[in-house]
Structure 1
Amino acid sequence: MTDPPNAPSGSPTPAAMPQTRPVLRNPAWMRVVGATSEQFETEQFIASYTSMARDLAQDFSDDAERPLSARAMAIRRRVAVQVLSDLQVLRRQAVAGTAYGDGVRTGSAWKYPVSDRHGRIGELKHPNDGPDGAHRVVDVMGWQYRLYFSRPDVRPGLMLWLQAGRKPIDGDWRTIQSAHIELAKATLNQWHLAQGGPPEASRG
């Protein structure tokens, strides 16, 4: 089985910054999160992103209740590809410091940290209000998507990608999201240990 489109690469890369014109960075992002000089995708991030993308493709390619026309199937495939493309754009915006919003309001594309008890773990959110604040789309066919990251204090400038996931807008969404955040936290602890330091939970 081939990887879904826009799958992560898995190797450390320098942060991609546009070179053709000045970047209008988001002051709120720069104040709270800071500038990025490099990024790294953990194995957990790659695995969870790939799994999420495959689930998305499956959900948008068939209908258990009734057969879909060729046109309807084509529309669903375009939606799935667009969601993955939007997530990659959101990642590039985060690395460039241009992610939309103040990190507080509901429509913001990010939050850092996700909560006081989870330390240096943030999230990118899709969908969001967008730069004009006019999108007002809260879900994509009943789902919201999250990309969890960290800015480890021992490596200033690093964007560390930890976990990808999606949650339904109703039902047991809180439990699902909490599980994703706990996986992100565990991945961050493993990263710290691999660097020869204490886990995040024991850091001051």
Structure 2
Amino acid sequence: MQTAIPVQKVTRPRADALRNRERIVTAAREMFVEFGPEVPLDEIARRAGVGNATVYRNFPDRDALVREVVCSVMDRTSEAAESALAETGDAFEALSRFVHVAADERISALCPMMSSTFDQHHPDLEAARERVEQLIGEIMDRAKAAGQLRTDVGVGDVMVVVSQLSRPPAGSACMNIDRFVHRHLQLFLDGLRAPARSELPGKPATMEDLRRS
């Protein structure tokens, strides 16, 4: 006679718990951009409309929350590029979508946190970063093969310009430049189109170049 194997019940997060977590991450992203990574967690809880205990139940420390914010931003920018590629099949359009969504996500204001606030080699962060780099690299290769993108640019070139043009640093009071962001990013994108009208100095920048600098 066989002994019945007990079935372990899988506990899934409740819908309200997931909503609370998302509200915390959204509020944290907004406040990190406005005030920098040292904004009090109590203030983040207040903006998210949850209690302090809810924040600490989801994120045991500041590093965990910052990491979640950065990973969620990178994931959304990747998803935007993937969606554009699936909808249109146009690699340059997918690259354009990535650039503009990265600006809306204020990715440049969060970039300093990736190097100064917590472990850069945390598995979650490395997975999100590798996904972005691989995806944008593949999209750029497709655009080059289709004759849409000039051949003398690399992923690092795109990331540098997105970071520099998209938003002022976290905590900056210069938010009035927001109205110029997409205009200037579009000028940059037009400059990426093939055929190239000028010769760029140096060589295409890679992400490894940026990490070494």
The structure whose residues are more often helix, as a share, is 2
Structure with max Cα Rg: 2
The two structures have a TM-score, normalised by structure 2, of 0.28
